[in-house]
Amino acid sequence: MIMVLLATVNEQTIVNFVSGQLNNLELAVSLAKRGNLPGAEKLVVERFHELFAQTKYKEAAELASQSPQGILRTPDTVAKFQSVPNKKNLLENWLAEDKLECSEELGDLVKTVDNDLALKIYIKARANSNGFTSKQEHEQRSPNHSAMQGFTYQAVNHKPTSACSTHKSPKTKSRGICQ
């Protein structure tokens, strides 16, 4: 019986061996990241650009932070991430392009950052939320306003935008009316 007591690998060539001879790019990149080994620079950079092109920014950032030999921890990489539109812009674009499935839960999340965008999401989802009252509820409380057209919402801490006007009635609080 033969027992192996000690085994060593050539750190300078192991990543190239795994990617070339074994044709296992994922394992090669994983070895390079975990052991901070040379040989996967080209693979890591290519994978980073793939993820970035697919707008998988979180995965690209993780890869950059764990890149072997620090090859992606550069001012150029930081500048590349800074050129990405912020999340609010992405949400607004996706909402306009109907790429989001609007729901009350999404509106609740967005409301913590932007009331106007949250209101658009609630309207698209046809949902009510904490702080927003639907037209139907408004009409039940104030029958003399039932002839209003469009949607009527009460916004808590919401400033009316140019597309909205405000009115007050003796029985109700200030309400934003968006048409």
| Domain map (residue ranges) of the chain | 14-82, 98-178
pLDDT confidence of residue 106? 83
Residue 97 reports pLDDT greater than 50 = yes
Among the listed residues 107, 109, 130, the one whose alpha carbon sits nearest the alpha carbon of residue 119: 107
- Give the angle 31-37-39 at the CA atoms, nearest 5°: 90
Q: What gap in Å lies between CA 15 and CA 30, rounded to an integer?
A: 9
Residue 98 reports pLDDT greater than 70 = yes
Which range is least confidently modeled, 40-49, 67-76, 87-96, 154-163?
A: 154-163
Q: Which residues 6+ apart lie within 8 Å of 23 measured at CB?
A: none
The predicted model scores a pTM of: 0.45
Q: What gap in Å lies between CA 35 and CA 47, rounded to an integer?
A: 18
pLDDT digit string, tens, across residues 125-153: 885 544 455 444 444 444 444 443 444 44
Q: For the domain with range 14-82, which CATH number is right: 3.40.50.300, 1.10.730.10, 1.25.40.30, 3.90.1170.50?
A: 1.25.40.30
pLDDT digit string, tens, across residues 29-77: 888 888 888 888 888 898 899 999 998 988 998 888 888 888 998 889 8
Residue 159 reports pLDDT greater than 60 = no
pLDDT confidence of residue 127? 58
pLDDT confidence of residue 132? 52
Residue 55 or residue 172, greater confidence: 55
Among the listed residues 22, 26, 60, 55, the one whose alpha carbon sits nearest the alpha carbon of residue 40: 26
With a pLDDT cut of 70, the percent of the chain lying above it is 70
